[in-house]
Amino acid sequence: MSKLYVGSEIGQLRRVLVHRPERSLSHLTPSNCQDLLFDDVLSVERAGEEHDAFTQTLRDQGVEVLLLKNLLADTMAIPEAKDWLLSTQISSNRFGIAFANDVRCFLADLSNMELAAILLGGLSYSELPIKSSSMMQGLHNSTDFIIKPLPNHLFTRDTSCWVYGGVSINPMAKRARQRETNHLRAIYRWHPTFAGEDFIKYYGDAERNYDKSTIEGGDVLVLGKGAVLIGMSERTTPQGVEQLASSLFKHGEAKEIIAMQLPKHRSCMHLDTVMTHIQEDTFSVYPEVVSKDVKCWSLTGDQSGHVDVKETGYFVTAIEKALGVDQLNLITTGGDSFEAEREQWNDANNVLTVKPGVVIGYERNVYTNEKYDKAGITVLPIPGDELGRGRGGARCMSCPIERDGI
């Protein structure tokens, strides 16, 4: 069997894809950060140091860490991959025939590592050292972007997610993130780590307009035992859930998808910002959002790809049944209602489980971390004063590609 397999949220984590934010953060300014889906401007150096602490914590736990920029640079060493990605990301439809050609020629001459840095981190008109014959340069300010930075690539969880024996290469909901998907398409298709391996691409690999069928990995929790929990948030639609479910059933990789409705708030942008799996019978939840009256559906199907949908009762009961446990233990966000709201905003619930009962989380969430500790959960604390301002915790910043089942 291919080692590319994610059997749960809590089994031993073995290999993970992360992205150290550098160039993209240096392009963030108070005037453009909202457009780029960031609430704030981060200190580039400090964010990098905090990310290094995160990856070191993973390595200390025996997890192999793959860096997105390195994977992309390695992929660019393959001529076919480089041609495909440059023609996809720097298309004539987006830039005009003359300018697209000039920019592609400039990029093609860079080293693979420099090229990867620009594709991930952006390129402004002032940073383009060539004079193009096209009208584009004359019509733009020097601070306008030719290639917009992708600061949200920091959250590798969203752009693709591994579910049992395959990957969903996710069509992203927001324009500011849609280019990320092509980087993952190229890596999974051509990079030597993936190219020769036997794994399924469930959804999103084709170059087409997915319209309203969007899905992001922060909403997808691999419960284990053939079950998957998916939150329908502002980024993941019922249409996207059905498409992924159909493909999972078609390939015989899942038995049931539990889909739950989330409010469309920035604070609970994805399911994993309000709920994560910590050990077999234990979840971390933010009760203000993950409450009894959350609507919930069960999706089942067969290898024809047909999907049966039926509304089900309390989501906790549905999870207990799927996991075969008597009673779930829900650890709620710590502190009084003010402290809990602050800590949820700072990703207290967005922890990354490295093995049952051991999680990585931001050290600043003292009240919630204390509750984990009292419940017998070991918290491996990481600094997050800068990284956390991007609105994502350890789970958001990690895309497991190899993890044991339960």
User: CA 148 to CA 118: how far, in whole Å?
Assistant: 9
Question: Is 396 an annotated catalytic residue?
Answer: yes
Annotated active-site residue in 161, 268, 396, 399: 396
- State the catalytic residues: 396
